[in-house]
């Protein structure tokens, strides 16, 4: 019986692993390195002038970055940074900051 026990546990363990994966932010997008100095490594800015990105809604982050990129939202630093981002970067960055561990939805 003892030798069979791990087999009974397997589905539970696999289920747990996939649930954890669903909430994981995954690997940091390469371009997040450009954001760390101002917004913190995980988006938890410690600098009051710089907004916290961690756990913000993904759609909000994506639309803010698109607005900086198009110039409809003006901020000299963010306009020039957003100009270096492709739509796929905006998608990856906004998903990553929105899905940091411990976000409440």
In the complex, the residues that contact ligand HEC under the rule CB under 6 A are 31, 34-35, 37-39, 49-51, 53, 61, 64-65, 75, 77-78, 81, 93
Q: What angle do CA 32, 37, 40 make, to 5 degrees?
A: 70
Compute the least distance from the CB of residue 98 to ligand HEC, in Å.
10
Compute the least distance from the CB of residue 5 to ligand HEC, in Å.
47
Please state, as a whole number, how many other Cβ atoms lie within 10 Å of the Cβ of residue 93. Answer: 24
Give 24 or 86: the residue with its C-beta nearer to ligand HEC. 86
Compute the least distance from the CB of residue 60 to ligand HEC, in Å.
7
Tell the residue number behind the tokens 């539970």, with chain if given.
Answer: 12
Give 38 or 103: the residue with its C-beta nearer to ligand HEC. 38
Compute the least distance from the CB of residue 101 to ligand HEC, in Å.
18
Give 24 or 83: the residue with its C-beta nearer to ligand HEC. 83
Give 16 or 60: the residue with its C-beta nearer to ligand HEC. 60
How far is it, in rounded angstroms, from Cα 79 to Cα 49?
A: 16
């Amino acid at each position: 019986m003892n030798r069979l026990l791990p087999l009974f546990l397997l589905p539970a363990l696999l289920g747990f692993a996939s649930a954890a994966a669903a909430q994981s932010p995954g690997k940091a997008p390469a371009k997040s390195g450009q954001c760390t100095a101002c917004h913190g490594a995980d988006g938890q800015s410690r600098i009051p002038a710089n907004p916290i990105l961690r756990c913000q809604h993904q759609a909000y982050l994506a639309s803010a970055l698109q607005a900086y990129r198009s110039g409809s939202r003006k901020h000299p630093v963010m306009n020039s940074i957003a100009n270096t981002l492709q739509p796929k970067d905006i998608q990856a960055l906004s998903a990553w900051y929105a899905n940091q561990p411990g976000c409440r939805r």
